[in-house]
Chains A and B, each alone.
Chain A
Amino acid sequence: MAANREAQNPVDLDDLYRDVILDHYRSPRNRGARDDATVSAEGFNPSCGDEIQLSVAIVNGSLNGIGFGGSGCSISQSSASMMTEAMTGRSIESAREMSRHVQQMLTDDGFDLDAVDLGDLEALSGVAKFPVRIKCGLLAWKVLDQALADAAGESVSDDSDIPTRVTSS
């Protein structure tokens, strides 16, 4: 069955390791905690050890800047790096919407790439074809959700079966 699916829709390593992703892995943007952070959160994947810490500066309801720390595979770290760039300057609402889109892109077979303009973040779409790596791509976004929920004084309900632990910090 799996072999059939692959024959119809061959999965290539190039789908996972897009140039944009490798570029962010080698030259991470916004690495390091921000002194002006108003909220921070962290998360890790217990099964593989990937870690992400985020510190977010929120001023008047918009994300003035995001710093990230942590360690892990190229997918987890570049996803975080790309996220910090793409979310900076957005309102909390807009950032949450983008986070929802990216997480759908990674987990939902029916996601329509043409329906939303994700910019460079679209490079993460190939991760969806590598089931064991999806949690790597999701980690930074789940941590972002936690940080933004903290900023809004809400709690996050995570009903996915992906074993990621996210906490406020």
Chain B
Amino acid sequence: MTTATHLDTAAIREQFPILSREVHGQPLVYLDNAATTQKPQSVIDALSNYYSTMNANIHRGLHTLAEEATSAYEGVRREVADFIGASSHREIVFTRNTTESLNLLAYTLGARLRPGDEIVLSAAEHHSNLVPWQLVTQRTGAVLRFIELNDDQQIDVDTARAAINANTRIVSIVHMSNVLGSIAPVAEIAEMARSVGATMIVDAAQSAPHIPVDVNELGADYVAFSAHKMLGPTGVGVLWGRQELLADLDPFLGGGEMISVVTREESSWAALPHKFEAGTPNIADVIAFGAALDFLNEVGMDAVAAHDAELTHYAVERLSRLEGLDIYGPADAADRAAVIAFNYRDIHSHDIATILDRSGIAVRAGHHCAQPLMRTLGVPATARASFYLYNERSEVDALVEGLLEAGERFGFAR
């Protein structure tokens, strides 16, 4: 472990206009990246440029603007495919967000389930990878089973083995926990799923921004993630699926764009991936997502991962030294990526967040859309700091100072 960060964060920060603003008279320290990341100027410009120069509806227009917009939109699809090692751009479906990608799967795959079939999730799921499957169980009589956390608050191969059996039809788990920061051994779990003939789904909303994600190495059948957590705009999600599996799925939403031939009585479906993109898609934001991927590719995902790991290690080390601070998740900082959930003294996380905000520091507080996990951890809520490629050690120092100030306000000496 080197002592300096791997990236030239000063040069990177200059490309994010929001990072130069102040909050309550203090420089913004943005540590809520697991919720959404900030956007570089190139992404903001791409949005504006699209509307200024090529705005048109895609795929059906015969004029120049439509051609340019279609070409830009489809170009990003290819870029996403390359980014995650997909074998074809036809395997990339654009949705609104990770939640919609997972709902698409729950709706279409769920329709095939019967009473007694088992859907395996983990104890660390975000509500987006839990509630859609609860709805499936209500419709079908299928049941949920959960991979529990081990003693180190991680999903591991043993806890997965205890949940996956011959009745398992679907395994859908979070790759990187938005609370614990831990990385699940997805490839091994995918192997278990395959051995019982189950479909393997990976929620990569947190992992795709922070570590290199290769769908073939994951061994998954489907992977879902969101643009806005990786420098892109809100309103764009990705669903990757193996081509032969996507081809075999029924459509999720019906309408324009997703059809081939429509009569009064019935329709046939467009080829992949358009079968899953009913209606006018979020053209501008997809195109701007391309600029975000350009940015990440230029920095390099290995460098992003190394930077995040180094900063997380530093933060765990500094936070651990505070008396009365509890960190949730794996004990070894090497087993977590870019997310640190914690509680400090007996100060409620909402009070922590309000006090830090007055120093310009943005953190998340609450249940992090993972109420069952909070119950497993035995806490009502936590504060959470999460980092990205533009964060620096000085911001971790500011966080520590802000916590000490919060402690003083609640009557704890430094």
A binding-site residues for B, Cβ under 8 Å: 6, 13, 16-17, 22, 26, 47-51, 71-75, 130, 132-133, 136
Contacts and interface: CB of A to CB of B under 8 A. Distances in A.
Contacts of A133: 350, 354
B380 A71 contact: yes
A17 B409 contact: yes
Contacts of B374: 49
Contacts of A49: 366-367, 371, 374, 380-381
B367 A13 contact: no
B350 A73 contact: yes
Interface of B: 24, 347-351, 354-355, 358, 365-367, 371, 374, 380-381, 409-411
B354 A48 contact: no
Contacts of B409: 13, 17, 22
A144 B24 CA distance: 35
10 contacts: A13-B354, A17-B409, A48-B350, A49-B371, A49-B380, A50-B350, A73-B351, A74-B348, A74-B351, A75-B351
A44 to B, nearest CB: 10
Contacts of A22: 409-411
Nearest to A74: B351
Contact of A48 (B24, B347, B355, B381): B381
B362 to A, nearest CB: 12
A26 B411 contact: yes
Nearest to A16: B354
B366 A130 contact: no
B348 A13 contact: no
A49 B383 CA distance: 13
B358 A47 contact: no
Q: Which 9 A-B pairs have the closest CB atoms?
A: A73-B348, A73-B350, A74-B351, A13-B358, A49-B380, A48-B366, A73-B351, A71-B380, A49-B381
A71 B354 CA distance: 18
A52 to B, nearest CB: 13
Nearest to A130: B354
Given A48-B350, A49-B366, A49-B367, A72 B380 contact: yes
A6 to B, nearest CB: 7
Contacts of B348: 72-74
B366 A47 contact: yes
A2 to B, nearest CB: 10
Given A22-B409, A48-B365, A133-B354, 18 more contacts: A13-B354, A13-B358, A17-B409, A22-B410, A26-B411, A48-B367, A48-B381, A49-B374, A50-B350, A71-B380, A72-B348, A72-B350, A73-B348, A73-B351, A74-B348, A75-B351, A132-B354, A136-B350
A72 B381 CA distance: 9
Nearest to A26: B411
A18 to B, nearest CB: 11
Nearest to B21: A3
Contact of B355 (A13, A71, A72, A75): A13
Nearest to B22: A3
Contacts of A72: 348, 350, 380
Contacts of B358: 13
A56 B354 CA distance: 32
A71 B375 CA distance: 14
B278 to A, nearest CB: 31
A123 B350 CA distance: 19
A56 B355 CA distance: 34
Nearest to A51: B380
A29 B262 CA distance: 69
